Chains A and B, each alone.
Chain A
């Protein structure tokens, strides 16, 4: 986007406005797609039912109906709640989501910001959402909310480590933190001298990809890692006291983050906007890049939601054991192996 906008010589505020609008679309459109495709339809088919069918052709307008329903609802704040913190919490979660999308490239010239730290920035801002969850749980003045927030925090802290460590293998192989650089490394890479399909890191970093997906599942607080919102124990955890618009914001945050983490996984492990067989510097990718990326996002999101709908919930101690005793040691071994192989080859 940088070069495209500079070519048209727009003022700074015009560039910024375009970035804001495109960023909003890049967060909300994939989120809506995922909700309709997977939450409404795929889950229904897996449970031998049709899902929403009435609103629009094949239920495709159901999402708009849902949003309209939430917007009409009364905005209830518990009497003993800490009003300011209670109101601010969903915004903190959304800010974290919207900052995440900034680093994802959609084509050779299509990106919001081209920063040297790239994926490191994404992992850093993704950790801000924990504060929003803690604020929501504490300010609700409800023991279910507080317990849910504490569980969520313990889980997010535990699974942030394998998330970061799984990415390290990719960073070592690509030799850069920059997302565009990681895509280029995959597009121009070779596997044992064969460069026909580039070198998507899912082949060499399959362990990293698997750990990343499990950690993402836990970061999103969705089954099988949904102890913080376990409805049979905690009502809905830190979301218990939220209603109407603010609940909708948490809901959008959850699915938008699912979409963006899928985009991160697609960029890190599946080659991002690149399709094999074409020249990665071709400006054609500025047009088809976003669509290729979206296709890969749906592929990764399919895996994430497939796990979500089929696995039973983990117990709290199993959840922590999996993170600290399985995923973190595995990802450390992955880093050492990648480092050694990088030096040898």
Chain B
């Protein structure tokens, strides 16, 4: 397959091996994600904001799959879209089912939210850059689920168990808070 010369500069990751389809898909996904993310924080309708969040998270899952991290992408769909956003929507609809714009979603807390957002961006961006720099992702070999399982239960067993205990504590805490008797 011949590739237009202009496209060849687009893919510095694989070093010469141009993957046009992936680049186009990445471009579309990024534009959709950025627009949806902006709409999510600017819309005054809480349910719409949660639905825009679904689009952003689905785009993130798509990017994981483009990078060959199939298991992480599928987990993203199962956990974030199938569980977390559903719980958001469930909570919003149980507490304020009203349609239309919500005037309480005002600008008061925007400054703090922006500050937190920028802080998260700087910290995670810094951490990623610091640990990976310009290491290329090997996209020719998608990561296998079995390998991920082996790594979690050998190399990362301690953090994995710590997270499990943390989640269990949160679960018990939620039940204790919710119980009235």
Question: If A127-B81, A138-B93, A146-B97 touch, does A116 touch B142 (CB 8 Å cutoff)?
Answer: yes
Q: Do A115 and B86 have beta carbons less than 8 Å apart?
A: no
Q: Do B93 and A127 have beta carbons less than 8 Å apart?
A: no
Is the CB of A121 closer than 8 A to any CB of chain B? yes
Q: Name the B residues within 8 Å of A120 (CB-CB).
A: 71, 74, 78, 145
Cβ-neighbour of A131 out of B21, B70, B81, B99 (below 8 A): B81
Stretch at the interface among A149-157, A264-272, A329-337: A149-157
Q: Name the A residues within 8 Å of B86 (CB-CB).
A: 127, 130-131, 134, 153, 157
Q: Do B90 and A150 have beta carbons less than 8 Å apart?
A: yes
A-contacting residues, B129-181, CB 8 Å: 142, 144-146
Is the CB of B27 closer than 8 A to any CB of chain A? no
Q: Do B97 and A138 have beta carbons less than 8 Å apart?
A: yes
- In the assembled complex, the CB of A92 is this many whole angstroms from the nearest CB of chain B, namely 9
**CA of A5 to CA of B81, assembled, Å:** 33
Is the CB of B94 closer than 8 A to any CB of chain A? yes
Question: If A80-B99, A146-B97, A149-B93 touch, does A116 touch B81 (CB 8 Å cutoff)?
Answer: no
**CA of A124 to CA of B58, assembled, Å:** 12
Is the CB of B77 closer than 8 A to any CB of chain A? yes
Chain A, interface size: which category? 20 to 34
Q: Which residue of A lies closest to B78 (CB)?
A: A124
Is the CB of A141 closer than 8 A to any CB of chain B? yes
Q: Name the A residues within 8 Å of B87 (CB-CB).
A: 157
Interface residue SS majority, chain B: helix
Is the CB of B51 closer than 8 A to any CB of chain A? yes
A-B contact count (CB 8 A): 77
Interface size in chain B (residues, C-beta < 8 A): 27
Is the CB of B67 closer than 8 A to any CB of chain A? no
Is the CB of A292 closer than 8 A to any CB of chain B? no
**CA of A151 to CA of B47, assembled, Å:** 18
Q: Do A116 and B97 have beta carbons less than 8 Å apart?
A: no
Is the CB of B41 closer than 8 A to any CB of chain A? no
**CA of A115 to CA of B68, assembled, Å:** 11
**CA of A249 to CA of B71, assembled, Å:** 30
Contact digits for B24-67, partner A, Cβ 8 Å, 1 yes 0 no? 00000000000000000000000110010010000000000000
Q: Name the A residues within 8 Å of B144 (CB-CB).
A: 116
Q: Name the B residues within 8 Å of A12 (CB-CB).
A: 21
Cβ-neighbour of A124 out of B47, B54, B77, B99 (below 8 A): B77
Q: Do B93 and A130 have beta carbons less than 8 Å apart?
A: no
Is the CB of B14 closer than 8 A to any CB of chain A? no
Cβ-neighbour of B82 out of A81, A146, A149, A160 (below 8 A): A160
**CA of A124 to CA of B82, assembled, Å:** 7
Q: Name the A residues within 8 Å of B8 (CB-CB).
A: none
**CA of A125 to CA of B77, assembled, Å:** 7
Is the CB of A85 closer than 8 A to any CB of chain B? yes
Q: Do A177 and B145 have beta carbons less than 8 Å apart?
A: yes
Interface of B toward A, CB cutoff 8 Å:
21, 47-48, 51, 54, 70-71, 74-75, 77-78, 81-83, 85-87, 89-90, 93-94, 97, 99, 142, 144-146
Interface of A toward B, CB cutoff 8 Å:
12, 80-82, 85, 115-117, 120-121, 123-125, 127-128, 130-131, 134-135, 137-139, 141, 146, 149-150, 153-154, 157, 160, 176-177
Beyond A124-B74, A134-B86, list 12 extra A-B contacts (CB 8 Å).
Answer: A12-B21, A80-B99, A116-B71, A120-B74, A123-B78, A131-B51, A131-B54, A138-B97, A146-B93, A154-B90, A157-B86, A157-B90
8 contacts between A and B (CB under 8 A): A116-B70, A117-B70, A124-B82, A125-B77, A127-B81, A137-B93, A146-B93, A146-B97
